[in-house]
Structure 1
Amino acid sequence: MQPKPRRVQTRKILDTLARMYPDAHCELIFRNPFELLIATILSAQSTDRQVNKVTKELFRKYPTPEAFLTLSEEDLAAEIRGLGLFRNKSKNILKTCRILVEQYGGEVPKDRKALEALPGVGRKTANVVLSNAFGVPALAVDTHVQRVANRLAMADSDNPLETERQLMKRVPREEWSITHHRLIWHGRRLCSARSPKCEVCDLLPYCWYGKNRLKGNALTKTADSR
């Protein structure tokens, strides 16, 4: 069972994350809000590394919503075939591009509701775009943020929206965006879903999950040695 988070402990966690990941940033490569929007849609069930490989050439050939609309769904699917759910993503991206052209003059809207109304765009994607493209404080919850936040007792929910709400209450608003990146970096580099490196993690003093895991490993080794 998770312990209830304390404000002092949350501050220590945030400060430790800052020391561990001083250069944390969005690892999707983009030059403008439109490229970030498309890259984030493409990132569902795909790694940022995979997306960056695909978008390097994709954005060179099709840099605007208007350029994307010269493609058929089949054409675009072929361009992004290396990514998961590529057929569905192709359909949504072209629908989104058409809306951007017809309703927003080819520009990405800065409004959350407008973003979430775009095909293929949910709250997480909207948060990523608002935060990284427009500098609006936001705390997107992906699988890494969900896992790490709950392991550190910064949240206690298996629902991403509720996890986001809890984090927004516990993390100062001006730190939402950078905390999002630091939690992702931690999840990718140390706090993996399987075999997390708890024994070398600077956050171990504040991590109920890591302490219990290492304690369990120690008990198992003791029992095996008898």
Structure 2
Amino acid sequence: MKNKVALVTGATSGIGKSTAVILASKGAKVVIAARREEKGQQVVEEIRALGGEAVFLKMDVASEESIRDGIQWIVDQYGRLDLAVNSAGISKTPAPLVDTDTKDLQDAFQTNVIGLFACMKYEVQQMLKTGGGAIVNVSSIAGIRPTNLSNAYSASKFAVEALTKVAAKEMASQNIRINSIAPGPTKSEITEGLGDTMIEKFSQMIPMKRIAESEEIAKGIVFLLSEEASFTTGTTLVMDGGFII
């Protein structure tokens, strides 16, 4: 991955941040794309302190204009885009169908589905110009087997799975590989906000009796981006400690 240009959305924390750090450690030029500039600059400084190369790009995946302009900025700066990780996403407060606001579903789809669709669209446009690339979309086990109270989130992640597979099939002959990763419960700002009791409840539901570290999921993403996965496209890598067995 040395000198490859990599975009990571939602890279200020959790899986996105860990992925950016690992990519930079392998020699990639990493673009940290997120809304929170202060947090983003902290990640950039952390990567540079470790000897890696990174820059911050303010991007809001809920805005197609922000995505389009951001990816164009990357190409203007580096001349290409080789790798992309679409990690930005939101999760709404769990609620049964009858108590779920329509706006919660709309918000989830705006960021998790429409935003991801726009990211892939502009990423692929640039990769086609330079001979190929690799994309990983961060999905969820909720997009494979839905759970109670996750109407908006599960629906959005099922859509991510569909978008990933359709795009992968379309681009397979163009040297662009597109895969998804489906993590189970993972340490992040979102899970920290749930509290210790809920984290322990999740842990007891997982055969490995713990939730994932973000670095563990990031390693799976980096594998899918690498040449070691050169014949892999349109697949979903489940990393859940056995949760959905």
Q: Fold-level match, TM-score > 0.5? A: no
Quickly name the TM-score band, shorter chain normalised. under 0.3
* Higher-RCO chain (CA-CA 8 Å, sequence separation at least 6): 1
**Structure with the largest fraction of strand:** 2
**Structure with the largest fraction of helix:** 1
Q: Please report the TM-score for the alignment, with normalisation by the length of structure 1.
A: 0.23
